Amino acid sequence: MKVTKAQVEANRAHIVETASTLFRERGYDGVGVAELMATAGLTHGGFYRHFGSKAELLAEAVACGVAKTKSLMDGVDMADFIRHYLSREHRDDRSGGCTLAALSGDAARQPDAIKATFATGLENMLADVLAAGGARSEEAQQCARARAIDTVAHALGALVLSRACPDDSPLADEILQTCRTAILDSR
């Protein structure tokens, strides 16, 4: 039975979504192609009909995950977003959480195409933070961009450090609370 073009596109999107979730949960090297395809409910052999390589899939999965994080920021008060982003709930949701926090370490060891996808995602996140500030003059925009970079780096770093601690560690919670307070107090 021949698969329609629409079904091929839907299968590809499903693979990307599944990969985005698995990569965030276990990292790029923690997921094999066979397991990924089985989780997606498809055969291993079909992978290369959709993607030239696992790295190509990673780039698309990163873009998918970054788009999800961006959608969480749309129309949300930045203080509310920071409170959620630096919460225990978000920290513990590795597979559904921020792609940049989950995979930045992996991306640093990947080809430039994947790094470019991360940079684009980071620029989009910065744009959302900047839009929340509404700076007007060029000097004010430069200062606002510096603050946005500080906010994003601070939040990402806090989430990464908190996740690196044991789940029930008081330090994990302290990192989130300290950085959440510092970011919100600086706004």
Burial string for 100-128 (b: 16+ CB within 10 Å, else e) reads bbbbbebbeebeeebbebbeebbebbbeb
What is the reported pTM?
Answer: 0.86
Domain range for 78: 5-186
CA 57/CA 36 separation, integer angstroms: 11
Count of other CB atoms within 10 angstroms of residue 25:
15
**Do 56 and 117 form a contact (C-beta atoms < 8 A)?**
no
pLDDT (tens digit per residue) in 137-187: 888 889 989 998 999 999 999 999 999 999 889 999 999 999 999 999 997
Q: For the chain, how many structural domains are there in total?
A: 1
Segment 120-133 mean pLDDT: 83
Question: pLDDT confidence of 1, banded at 50, 70, 90?
Answer: low
CATH number assigned to the domain comprising residue 147: 1.10.357.10
Query: Mean pLDDT of all residues in the chain?
Result: 90
